[in-house]
Each structure stands twice: as C-alpha cells, then as structure tokens.
Amino acid sequence: MSTPSSLQNLIDALRVLPGVGPKSASRMAYHLLQRDQPGANDLAHALMHALGTLRHCRDCNTFTEAEVCEICADERRTREQLCVVEMPTDLLMVEQTLAYHGLYFVLMGRLSPLDGIGTQDIAFARLLERASDGVVQEVILSTNFTVEGEATAHYLAEMLRARGLQVSRIARGLPVGGELEHVDPGTLAQALVERRKL
C-alpha cells in the first residue's frame, strides 16, 4: 500500500511554496481534496492565469498585465526621482503615504547570500541602466532596514554614485507619535545620528 501517485505528486508540488515542509504539504493536500475541491480548482486556475498574464513592467520591473504599469505610464509623476524598493508590496506602502510623486524601481528581492541570492539574481543591471537614462537625478534607496536590505542599499549606493547619480536613503527614526520610552535603543541612537537641523 502506498499513497496514490496523483496524491503524492500534489503533496510534492505543494512544497514549492515557501515555508511548506512535507508535513504541512500533506495536510494542505488532504484539506484541499477533502474539504475544498472548488478552492483547489480556483487555485489551479489562478496559478495558470497569473503565469499567463503577469509580466514585469518594462520601466520599473513591478508585476503588471500591461507592458508598462499604471505608475510609469502616468505623465503627472516626477520623472527625476527614482525610489528603489525590494518588492511590489513595498511600492504600495510608499504609494499609500501620498508623499511621493516620483517613479519607482522594484528589485524583486534583496541581496541574501545565505539564500543564494546574489547580484545576478536581482534586477541590479536593469536598475543601473534605468537610473542612467539622463532624466533621473536622484535615486532614493527604500530597501528594508534588515541586514539584507541594508547590504543591498550599501551595494547599490556605491554602484549608483560611481555613475555620478545622487543617492539617498530613507530615514530611520522614531515612528510618528513614538515615545522615547518605548523605542528600542538602536532606533533611538539612529534617530540621534540622523537628526535634522531646524
């Protein structure tokens, strides 16, 4: 007695999902087959549809169904500023601030040697080309303040400055409404270093 091959294949296929080991893949497969076959069917079709329709924006590299995404196509945006983020979700976060009116470049990742993600695996070459179009004046590095995000920003800053571009990094500091008593010492130290003249 063994697991039927189509069931075993499904369990194996579910392991492509990040963070899903053999046990949860098995649990997911049984759940879908036993409790949610319509959901499993929807998932299969959503995967095929996304694979068939999504591509990277020619200009900013985010996912889009068109050749150029809505933001890059918007003529009201300032074309002199380029905000570099790790993922499309980060782009949405910046958009939600309503405080930025320039363009974006989405790396679709970060340098992460431990995960085997090096400079070849991220769209670095395309960013350098994009930032060197003669229109972009300032590149604002908005990668995360994680070890990987910081390393990515450091690497990009060097490459971009070498091309004569002005490079900036979003600020670290206390959150809006934040109290000194409740902030971690590292953030507070950085807020002191990055203090602004009034």
Verify binding: residue 54, a copy of itself, rule CB under 8 A: yes
Query: What are the b/e assignments for 101-111, b being 16+ CB within 10 Å?
Result: ebbbbbbbbbb
Which of 27, 79, 161, 163 is in the footprint of a copy of itself by CB under 8 A?
27
Which of 58, 100, 108, 137 is in the footprint of a copy of itself by CB under 8 A?
108
Verify binding: residue 90, Zn ion, rule CB under 5 A: no
Verify binding: residue 12, a copy of itself, rule CB under 8 A: yes
Verify binding: residue 83, a copy of itself, rule CB under 8 A: no
List for the chain the helix, strand, coil content (%; round to 5): 45, 10, 40
Which of 11, 25, 72, 141 is in the footprint of Zn ion by CB under 5 A?
72
Which of 21, 45, 132, 178 is in the footprint of a copy of itself by CB under 8 A?
45
CA distances from 111 to 42, 68, 96, 161, 192 (A): 34, 25, 26, 19, 28
**Contact of 130 with 59, CB cutoff 8 Å:** yes
For tokens 């098995």, the residue is: 26
Verify binding: residue 149, a copy of itself, rule CB under 8 A: no
**Minimum distance from residue 77 beta carbon to a copy of itself (Å):** 10
CA 55, CA 64: separation in Å to the nearest integer? Answer: 6
For tokens 């070459």, the residue is: 125
Give which of 10, 13, 16, 12 is closest to 34, Cα–Cα.
10
Verify binding: residue 59, Zn ion, rule CB under 5 A: yes
Interaction site with a copy of itself (CB under 8 A): 1-7, 9-10, 12-14, 16-19, 24, 26-37, 39-54, 63-65, 69-71, 87-89, 91-92, 95, 108-109
Instruction: Give the residues lining the site for Zn ion (CB under 5 A).
Output: 57, 59-60, 69, 72
